[in-house]
């Protein structure tokens, strides 16, 4: 399928748009319901880390797919204050994603989910 890019204001009200977009892409390439739900949770958590409610920051969501995996790459621009990742957020991301890379200083998070079936 290639790559889908989505640019949004880094505000809480737009997190749902990112979640729905990633879910639609995952569905289109054949991920199961449970895998899609895991991705929706992961994207919601990632965007929650990167939102900056009182700024002009934006987030860019890049969704890349193959037959077996989906990668969601989210960046906040400008990077703004260092992203604070709590223990609960780490546990949630580890539970629903196969790989997670967080660059707290750059405001960048990469999440990968493998298709199981």
The answer to whether the CB of 51 falls within 8 A of the CB of 77 is no
pLDDT of residue 21: 96
pLDDT of residue 1: 64
Task: Write the pLDDT tens digit of every residue in 76-100.
Answer: 999 888 889 999 999 999 999 999 9
Range of the domain at 10: 2-114
CA distance 69 to 98: 10
Q: Shortest CA distance to 26 belongs to which of 12, 34, 36, 38?
A: 36
pLDDT of residue 79: 85
For the chain, how many structural domains are there in total? 1
| CATH number where 51 lies | 3.30.565.10
Task: Write the pLDDT tens digit of every residue in 28-82.
Answer: 999 999 999 999 999 999 999 999 877 899 999 999 998 899 999 999 999 888 8
């Amino acid at each position: 399928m290639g790559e889908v890019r989505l640019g949004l204001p880094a505000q809480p009200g737009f997190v749902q748009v990112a979640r729905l977009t990633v879910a639609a892409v995952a569905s289109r390439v054949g991920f199961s319901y449970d895998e899609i739900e895991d991705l929706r949770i992961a994207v919601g958590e990632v965007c929650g880390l990167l939102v900056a409610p009182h700024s002009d920051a934006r987030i860019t969501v890049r969704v890349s797919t193959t037959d077996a995996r989906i990668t969601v790459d989210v960046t906040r621009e400008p990077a703004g204050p260092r992203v604070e990742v709590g223990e609960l957020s780490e546990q949630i991301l580890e539970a629903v994603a196969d790989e997670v890379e967080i660059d707290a200083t750059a405001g960048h998070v990469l999440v990968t989910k493998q298709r199981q079936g």
